[in-house]
Structure 1
Amino acid sequence: MRFITHPFPIAAVGWCILAAPAEVTATRRGDNNTIECRRATVAILGAGVAGITAAQTLANASVSDFLIVERNDYIGGRVVHTHFGQKPDGTPYTVELGANWVQGLGSESGPENPIWTLARKHKINNTASNYESILNYDKDGAADFDDLVAAFDEAYAIAEQDSGYVLTDNLQDTSMRAALSLAGWKPKDDMHAQALEWWNWDWETAWSPEQSGFLFGIAGYNLTFYQFSDQNNFVWDQRGFNTFVAGEASEFLEANDSRLLLKTVVTEISYDSGGVIVHFEGGGCIEAEYAIATFSLGVLQNDVVRFDPPLPRWKREAIEQLQMGTYTKIFLQFNETFWDKDTQFLLYADNKTRGYYPVWQSLSAPGFIEESNIIFVTVVDTQSHRIEKQSDEETEAEVMAVLRTMFPDKNIPKPLHFMYPRWSTEKWAYGSYSNWPVGMTLERHQNMRSNVDRLWFAGEATSAQYFGFLHGAWFEGHDVGMRIAGLLGQGGNVSQCDSNSTFGCGRMVNYTDLHGTTFPEEYNVQNGWSKSSFLTYGHGG
C-alpha cells in the first residue's frame, strides 16, 4: 500500500508480479461509443485476501481465464506493511500498518482457521499475545484497576448468555451498551472502567458499545474464538504479513503474468444479466462474463467507483448501514526501552477522554522484535478520524505528553522515529474493517453479500460470521469463487444445490423488501401513537 498522504515507503514483499501489456479487443457500449476492452471470463477487482482467494479457487476449479485488477503496486490489500525505524546495522524494521494478528487459530478436535493454516504454510513469524501481560496507568502514573476485570467479565458473561436468548427466541436486538448495562456494567464517569471497557470492546470492533449491535457483536466474536480457539497470534515477520497472500498467488500466477494488472484504478462498472464491463482511470477496460468486486466497505460507501446502472436500493441500504471502522497504530522508536521489557501491553486511562491513546504494545517484549525499542499505541473511531486529520507533529506532541504522564519519573527523550497511517482518508480503503451496527439484520447483511446480476461482491465486510476478521475475507473469496465456478459448469452440478450447501450454489438470495417488527395496526393509542400513520405521512384526508 502506498499511503499517498504519508511520506513513508512501503516495504517490498518477498515476491512480486508485474503486469504484462494486455491484449485488447474491441467492444461496444450502449452509448454507441467504441472502446477497447480486454476480454475475460471473470474480472476480479482487488488483490487482497478475498480477491486472491477467489482467483485461486477459480484456478483450482479449472477456470483460468480471469484477470485480477489492483489499484496498488503490491498484492495483499489491507494486509500491508512498511519500513520503520532503524536496526543497529542501519537497515529498517518492518511493521504492519493493517492486519496484524491471526485471530482464533484452531484446536486439535475442531476446525482450523484458514489464515493460521496459510501462516504456518508460509512460515510467518508470529508470537502469541498474552493479555495478562499488562500494566495499568492513569494521570498519576502506574495504577491498579485489576479489581474491575472480574466485574466486567461477570457482566460480559451475563450479556453473552442473554445474546443466546435473543438468537434462539428471535427477540428484538439492542446495542452492546444496553446489554452491558442490563448485565450490571455501567462505567459512567469511572475512567478506569472506561479504559478497561475500551480494552475489551472498542479495541476489537473499532466502534463503541453504543454504536455496536448486541446479537451479532457477541455472535461474531464467538464464531471465531469458540469455533477455532481463543488464541491471538501477533505477526512480526520482517518479510511482512502479506507474504502469505503473495505466496498463495505465486501458486497460480507466474512472474510477469498478464492476468494481474497492478496500479490499475477502477472508475466505473457497467453490468447487467449478460455480463460486466470494468472501466479504468485513463482509459481501457475489461469485458467479462462475471466480475467480483472485493472493494472495502469504505470504498463502496464513499462512491469511489461508479455503477451503471446504480446499485439497487436494497443493495445500497445494506452498504450504507454496515459500519466501517478505523484502527490506527502509531509507531515510535526510542534509543532505549524505558518501559518494562517483559510486558506486552500497557493500558492508559485518561482522566478526561475515553479512548485517548489507551492501548500500548511493546515490540521489544520477549518473542517479538526484541531490542528494537519500538512501541506503538492504537486509537479507533473518533480519535482515529481526529488524529488522521492533524499533522504528525501535533499527534507526536499528544502521544509524548501521554507517555510522560504514564512515566512521570522517567526522562523520556524525543523519539528517533515516529509514524502512523491515515486509513480513514485513504481513497482505496476509507477505513480498516467493518463492524455490525445497531439495527442491522442478517437479511439486510445478506443484501450486502448478494450479487447483482453478474456483478458479485466479496470481502471481510460481506461475511456474516467473520465480519471484521481476515479469515472472513478468505471464506468470502472462496465462496464466491466456488459459486461462479459452479455457474460456469466447473464447480459441480448447480441444479443439485440447496439451501444447506456451503459453496458453489450459484447466485445468492437477496431481499428487496425488509419489514419491521411493528405492524400497521399497532400504531395505536395503546402504544403511545395517537395520530393516524396515514395522516402522519400525508396520505390521509
Structure 2
Amino acid sequence: MTDFLIVEYQDRIGGRLHEVEFGTKSDGSPYIVEAGANWVEGLGGAGHPENPIFSLARKHGISALKTDYKNKMTYDKTGNKDYSKVMDNFAAAMRRVVVQAGSSLKENVQDKTLRAALRLVGWNPAPDNSHAQLAEWFGCDFESSYTPEENSAVFSSVADNATFAHFSDDNLFVYDQRGYSTIIRGEAATFLTPNDPRLLLNTIVTAVNYTDESVTVSTKDGTCIEADYVISTFSLGVLQRDVVEFYPPFPSWKKSAIASFEIGTYTKIFLQFEKAFWPNSQYLLWADPRERGYYPLFQPLDLPGVLPGSGIIMGTVVNRHAHRAEAQTDQETQDEIMEVLRTMYGKDIPDPKAIYYPRWSQEPWSYGSYSNWPPSTSLQAHQNLRANIGRLFFAGEATSQEFYGYLHGAYYEGRAVGEMLATCIEEPVKCTDKDGQPRYQTLTGVTPYDMYNEQHGWSVDTTI
C-alpha cells in the first residue's frame, strides 16, 4: 500500500519519543537528552518473547544503559540514610497485590483502588512516614505517574504483568546521542523517501468529518484531505480537550470512554553542572519530610559509559508536582531543586550552568505524557476507547489494554489497526461499521437497581 498521507503537527516524526539538545560539551556542541520516552521496558529473552521495541533498538544500534534498581542511594533530611529495607517491603506488598489482582480478574471480582489493595495486604503507612511514602512513589507513581488512590488495582497489575512477566524484568535507559527516535526515523526510511510528499509536517488538524463513504480531514492552513479511511493517533489528552472538531459528534459511548481514562504528566528536569558532585549510582532518592513526591528522584547521566564528564543529572516529578513545575519559571524550579540537592550533598554545591525541562501538560499536540487506567472502569469501557467509528480508526499507547502507557503498546496498537485496514482495503464489504472493533453501547454497574432498598440501608428515592 502506497496511497497514504501522514499528517504531523510538528516538524519531525516521533511524537512523544522526542530528543532535545541540552547543555554543552567541551567542544561547544550540545548533548542529546530525551524529553519524552527514555526506556525500553521489558526486554524479553530466555524463554520469553522479545519486546518489539527491544528488537528495533538492537536493529538500529541504540546506545542504552541496563537498569539496575539496586544501584541506588537513599537520602532524607538528615542526609544519606539507608531505608532500602522499607523499599523492599513495599515491593513485596506490590507482588502480593499483583497475585490477588490476577485472581480478581479471573473471578470477575469488583475492582478497587491500588490503595485499598495495598491496605488489604498489610501496607498502610502514615502520611508523615517519609521513607514509606518515597518507597511508594518509586514503586507506583514513578511508573504510572499516579498515586495508589488514583490507580486501578486490577489493571495496574495487568500492565505490570503484561510487560515484565510476559517479556522480562530487564529495562534499558536510552542515552543514544542520535536520539531514541532513531528507531522511528530508521523504520520510516524503509517506506518514505527524503522530502516525501506523503509526509505533511507542521500540519495542524482542526476537524475530521467522517461518513459511511469517506473521511475528510481539515487543517489549519485551509487544506482538505479526503481519504477512504483515517487512523487517529491523537493523544488521550488532545481528545479530552476537544481541540479537534469531529463531525458528526462522537456517539455517547465513545465520549464516555474518552472522558473515563486519564493522561498523566511525567516531567524530567535536566541540570548541567561544571562537574559531578554526586556518587556514581543510577538512582538517588530523596524522601521529603513534608511533601510526598517533591523532587524525589535524581538520575545521574554523568556515569561511566553513559555521558561521562557531562555534569548532567536528571530529576523527575509527576502529576501534581509536575504541573506545578511546568507552571513556574525555570529559575523557580531550579531554586527548589537546589534546596533539595544542598540538603543531600551540602550547602556549598554550586548552581547549575543549564536547566531544561519539557512542559508536557501544556503541549497542544499532547496535553500530557501517557495514559493511565483509573479504578471504576472496565475492559468494555476501554474497548470503547479503542473502537472505530465507521471509517475512523484509533491507535496509540492509550488504546492498548495490556500495554497502555508503554511505547510497545503504541507499536502493537498501530500494527493491529494497520492489519485491520489492510483487510478493509482488500475487501471493503467486510469493513462496515458493525464488522469493525467491538463496542458497548451501555456499560452496566455492579449492583442491580432492585437491591437499592431499605434492607441495604437505602430508604430515600434518589432518582427523583
Q: TM-score with structure 2 length normalisation?
A: 0.97
- Report the structure, 1 or 2, having the larger helix content: 2
Helix, strand or coil for the counterpart of 1:196?
helix
Change (3 A) 1:339 1:519: same
Write the distance in 2 (CA, Å) between the matches of 1:65 and 1:150: 54
Is 2:442 aligned against 1:513?
yes
The answer to whether 1:289 aligns with 2:228 is yes
Q: Secondary structure at the match of 2:98?
A: helix
Task: Find the aligned partners of 1:369 and 1:361 in 2 and give their Cα distance.
Answer: 12
CA distance, structure 2, for counterparts of residue 377 and residue 209 of structure 1: 21
Structure 2 residue ranges without an equivalent (≥5): none
Q: Which residue of 1 aligns with 2:75?
A: 137
Residue 74 of structure 1 corresponds to 12
Return the letter of the residue paired with 2:179.
Answer: G
Deviation string, structure 1 residues 31-88 (Cα, Å, up to 9, x no partner): xxxxxxxxxxxxxxxxxxxxxxxxxxxxxxxx21110000000010000011101111
Alignment partner, residue 26 of structure 1: none
Contact 1:107 1:229 in 2 (8 A): yes
**Offset of 1:494 from its aligned partner?**
5.7
Matches within 5 A, 1:243-262: 243-262=182-201
**Counterpart for residue 252 of structure 2:** 313
Paired AA for residue 339 in structure 2: A
Q: Distance in 2 between matches of 1:335 and 1:506?
A: 61
**Match of 1:455?**
392
Q: SS at 2:321's partner residue?
A: helix
C-alpha contact 2:91 2:139 (8 A) present in aligned 1: no
Q: Which amino acid aligns with 1:69?
A: V
1:506 Cα offset (Å): 5.9
How far 1:537 moved relative to its partner? 2.1
Q: Does residue 522 of the first structure (1) align with residue 451 of the second (2)?
A: yes
Q: Tell which deviates more after alignment, 368-377 or 443-452.
A: 368-377
Distance of 1:437 and 1:413 partners within structure 2: 41
Residue 291 of structure 2 corresponds to: 353
- Taking the aligned partners of 1:357 and 1:221, their CA distance within structure 2 comes to 24
User: Partner residue of 1:388?
Assistant: 326
Preserved CA contact (<8 Å) 2:203 2:221: no
Q: Distance in 2 between matches of 1:163 and 1:437?
A: 14
CA shift for structure 1 position 108? 3.2
The 5-angstrom pairing of residues 4-403 of structure 1 reads 63-188=1-126, 189-340=128-279, 342-403=280-341
C-alpha distance in 2 between matches for 1:239 and 1:91:
13
In 2: Cα distance, 1:248 partner to 1:153 partner: 37
Partner of 1:417: 354
> Could you tell me how far apart the structure 1 residues matched to 2:427 and 2:410 are?
22
Q: Which runs of 4+ in 1 moved over 2 A?
A: none
User: Alignment partner of 2:401: what SS?
Assistant: coil
Work out whether residues 483 and 506 of structure 1, in 8 Å CA contact, stay in contact via their aligned partners in 2.
no
Asked if the contact 1:104/1:232 (under 8 Å) is kept, the reply is yes
Q: State the SS of the aligned residue for 2:365.
A: coil
| 1:443 match | 380
Q: State how far apart, in whole Å, the 1-side matches of 2:284 and 2:227 are.
A: 51
- Alpha-carbon shift at residue 147 of structure 1 (Å): 2.1
In structure 2, what is the Cα distance between the partners aligned to 1:202 and 1:367?
Answer: 28
Asked if 1:464 corresponds to 2:401, the answer is yes
CA distance in 2, matches of 1:326, 1:506: 36
Which one-letter code corresponds to 2:185 in the other structure?
Answer: A
How many residue pairs get matched?
461
Q: Deviations over 1:231-261 (max 9, x none)?
A: 1100000001001101100100111111110
Alpha carbons 1:487, 1:506 under 8 Å: kept:
no
Instruction: Using the TM superposition, give the Cα deviation of residue 368 of structure 1 relative to its aligned residue in structure 2, in angstroms.
Output: 1.5
CA contact (8 A) 1:486 1:506 kept: no
Q: For 2:118 and 2:282, how far apart are their aligned partners in 1?
A: 28
2:275 and 2:173 map into 1 onto residues whose CA distance is: 22
Distance 2:6 2:435 in 1: 21
Measured after TM superposition, the shift of residue 465 of structure 1 is 0.8
2:177 counterpart SS class: coil
Aligned-residue offset at 1:417: 0.7
User: Which AA in structure 2 matches 1:449?
Assistant: R
Aligned partners of 1:116, 1:157: CA distance in 2, in Å? 25
Alpha-carbon separation, structure 1, partners of 2:389 and 2:414: 16
Q: TM-score, normalised by structure 1?
A: 0.84
The one-character-per-residue Cα deviations of 1:431-474 (angstroms, maximum 9, x if unpaired) are 00001101110000000000011100000000001000000000
* Matched residue, 1:14: none
